Amino acid sequence: MDIFRLAGYAVELYLWLIMFPMAILSWFRIRPGTTLARVQLFLYRATEPVLRPVRRVIRPIGNIDISFIVVFLVAQYVVVRVLLG
């Protein structure tokens, strides 16, 4: 297995195990101090370094932050090109 394929799998895991759950949790109000709040904090800290630069370029539309969608689609495109290309 070459390094690019391994990197593609790592990105895929990051998208589905870190970014996607964070997107789902962001839809809900979670009480502070709960286990779910700690999970959300972990996911926030893991996703914010990736999403922050995109937010600087692409501002939210109304109250909708589309940075997640942009990062997810671009990463999926790159992964498909790496894994299938």
Specify the pLDDT at position 85. Answer: 67
Are the beta carbons of 84 and 9 closer than 8 angstroms? no
pTM as predicted:
0.82
pLDDT category of residue 79 using cuts at 50, 70 and 90: confident
Residues 7-30, mean pLDDT to the nearest whole number: 92
Coil, strand or helix at 17: helix
Interatomic CA distance for residues 45 and 78, integer angstroms: 23
Tokens 């995109």, located at residue:
54
Instruction: Report CA dihedral (73, 63, 45, 22) to the nearest 10 degrees.
Output: -60
**Residue keyed to tokens 């999970």:** 39
